[in-house]
């Protein structure tokens, strides 16, 4: 996370700037070690502005969960074998299979050699290592169980990669078929329909409404395509604003949860991340308020993020997580009730783990059902669209032939 700060040094001079830290407490700790008296500290807004936008950062290469899982597992093996952390990182720097990731791993090794802790070095790359990963490493360092922590992180990254792979796999077929529908429509309306339009118009007969609509679409695509491209560009720009700005992301996440059928899918994804992340952090020894803060940052949906942050404030005030979740319509009542049992028995991490497994099973079942349901629906849709166009073209030809005979 990046924070804006204003502080005074020992000479009384006011200093303004930004600092990267896992959370606000760490930012204050770093600034105090610099002998600065903090006057103002706030998380830097991620709102979009033309001046702050960078095409280099927009097209910056991403590191997949699979790459991080392999890196974590290999590092765990080398560290548990007795190899010093710096040497282990240097060994892995050229073996990740990703040149960009190789460079980052080498820089992390250099930072540790310079005296930085492993978790602090990871925090310098928030676009690769999220708060969840960094805090788990930090917990492993404090407990002296870094190797087992890395194995645990590798397992979690593999689960995350497997979830992403299943989601992509479920959407490949629908996206492919819908793309083919669009391409077929454009080809028909651009090349086929204009050839037949002349024959229909020359007949002089009354043109049915469906045929007039198809001819109008054909003429629009053929002669007014710049406006169509402009419309697509405007839609793309608004999508960019919704997904890349803080306020837009809030609106977008709320819309996702309200989409028929798919809204439940996005809810299950958020619940899996919430329960699995919180369980892992509690097992790692992270204090509950801090674990909730980290979970809020990795849950992936702003609506659920607000719920978790409210739960964090309630926990700081002495209330239970379950009592906070009970007031939210987005949290299933069964989850809240089971959390009550987990808190009373002192087995909150175990209960969360079981619920994470349950929601993972629900998610997999829903993905399978969606794929099975979408295939016939899309095929019928494709047949109706193409068949409707063909019928609208041949309808006036059939009428003309009936009149002549």
Task: Find where tokens 């720097």 sit.
Answer: 93
Give dist(CA 249, CA 117) in Å, integer: 33
In this structure, the number of other CB atoms found within 10 A of the CB of residue 13 comes to 8
User: Tokens in use for 54?
Assistant: 């960078």
Q: 310 pLDDT band (50/70/90 cuts)?
A: very high
Give the DSSP letter of residue 206: P
Say which residues have a Cβ less than 8 Å from residue 272's Cβ, sequence separation at least 6: 163, 356, 359, 360, 363
Query: Strand 37-43 vs strand 14-20: parallel, antiparallel, or unpaired?
Result: unpaired
The model's pLDDT over 88-134, given as tens digits with 9 standing for 90+, comes to 898 888 777 788 888 888 888 888 887 788 888 888 888 888 878 88
pLDDT at residue 307 above 90?
A: yes
Q: What residues form DSSP beta bridges with 14?
A: 8
Domain 65-152 has CATH 3.40.50.300: no
Q: 331 pLDDT band (50/70/90 cuts)?
A: very high
The model's pLDDT over 46-66, given as tens digits with 9 standing for 90+, comes to 444 444 444 444 444 567 778
Q: What residues form DSSP beta bridges with 273?
A: none
Comparing 313 with 248, which gets the higher pLDDT? Answer: 313
DSSP run (H or E) holding 5: strand 2-8
Q: Which fold has domain 162-405?
A: Receptor-associated Protein (1.20.81)
Give dist(CA 373, CA 225) in Å, integer: 34
| CA dist 182 → 186, 189, 278, 331, 385 (Å) | 6, 10, 43, 38, 10
Comparing 269 with 198, which gets the higher pLDDT? Answer: 269
pLDDT at residue 146 above 80?
A: yes
Q: What is the mean pLDDT of the chain?
A: 80
Specify the pLDDT at position 312.
Answer: 92
Can you tell me the mean pLDDT for 390-405?
68
How close are the terminal C-alpha atoms of the chain, in Å? Answer: 78
Task: Find where tokens 């339009």 sit.
Answer: 197
pLDDT at residue 262 above 80?
A: yes
Say which residues have a Cβ less than 8 Å from residue 79's Cβ, sequence separation at least 6: 85, 88, 146, 147, 150
Q: What does residue 84 show for φ and ψ, rounded to 5 degrees? A: -55, 150
Where is mean pLDDT largest: 199-213, 285-299, 328-342? 328-342
Give me the long-range contacts of 96-101 (CB less than 8 A, separation at least 24). 96/67, 96/70, 96/71, 97/67, 97/70, 98/61, 98/63, 98/67, 100/61, 100/63, 101/63, 101/67, 101/71, 101/128
The model's pLDDT over 276-289, given as tens digits with 9 standing for 90+, comes to 889 888 887 888 98
Comparing 362 with 379, which gets the higher pLDDT? Answer: 362
Give me the long-range contacts of 339-348 (CB less than 8 A, separation at least 24). 348/282, 348/321
Give dist(CA 32, CA 170) in Å, integer: 50
Global pTM reads 0.67
Q: 400 pLDDT band (50/70/90 cuts)?
A: low
Specify the pLDDT at position 399.
Answer: 66
Specify the pLDDT at position 308.
Answer: 92
Q: Residue ranges of the alpha helices (H) in 81-192?
A: 85-92, 99-113, 118-122, 131-143, 146-187
């Amino acid at each position: 996370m990046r924070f804006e700060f204003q502080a005074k040094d020992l000479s009384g001079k006011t200093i303004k700037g930004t600092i990267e830290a896992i959370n606000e407490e760490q930012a204050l700790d770093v600034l105090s070690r610099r002998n600065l008296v903090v006057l103002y500290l706030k998380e830097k807004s991620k709102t979009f502005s033309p001046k702050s936008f960078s095409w280099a950062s927009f097209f910056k290469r991403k590191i997949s969960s699979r790459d991080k899982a392999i890196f974590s597992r290999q590092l765990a093996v080398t560290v548990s074998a007795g190899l010093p952390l710096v040497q282990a990182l240097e060994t892995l720097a050229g073996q990740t299979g990703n040149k960009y990731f190789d460079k980052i791993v080498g820089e992390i090794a250099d930072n540790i050699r310079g005296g930085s802790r492993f978790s602090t070095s990871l925090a310098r790359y928030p676009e690769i290592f999220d708060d969840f990963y960094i805090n788990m490493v930090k917990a492993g360092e404090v407990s002296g169980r870094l190797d087992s922590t890395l194995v645990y992180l590798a397992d979690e990254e593999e689960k995350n990669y497997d979830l992403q792979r299943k989601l992509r796999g479920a959407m490949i077929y629908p996206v492919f078929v819908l793309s083919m529908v669009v391409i077929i429509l454009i080809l028909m309306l651009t090349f086929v329909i204009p050839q037949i339009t002349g024959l229909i118009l020359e007949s002089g007969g009354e043109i049915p409404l469906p045929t007039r609509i198809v001819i109008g679409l054909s003429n629009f695509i053929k002669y007014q395509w710049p406006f169509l491209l402009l419309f697509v560009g405007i839609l793309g720009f608004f999508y960019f604003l919704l997904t890349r700005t803080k306020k837009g992301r809030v609106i977008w996440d709320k819309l996702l949860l309200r989409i028929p059928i798919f809204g439940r899918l996005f809810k299950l994804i958020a619940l899996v991340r919430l329960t699995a992340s919180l369980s892992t952090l509690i097992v790692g020894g992270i204090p509950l308020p801090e674990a909730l803060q980290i979970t809020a940052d990795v849950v992936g949906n702003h609506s659920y993020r607000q719920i978790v942050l409210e739960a964090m404030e309630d926990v700081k005030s002495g209330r239970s997580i379950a009592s906070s979740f009970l007031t939210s319509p987005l949290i299933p009542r069964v989850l809240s009730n089971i959390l009550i049992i987990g808190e009373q028995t002192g087995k909150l991490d175990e209960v969360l783990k079981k619920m994470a497994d349950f929601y993972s099973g629900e998610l997999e079942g829903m993905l399978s059902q969606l794929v099975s349901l979408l295939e016939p629906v899309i095929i019928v849709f494709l047949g109706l669209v193409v068949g409707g166009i063909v019928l609208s073209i041949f309808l006036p030809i059939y009428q003309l032939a009936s009149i002549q005979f």
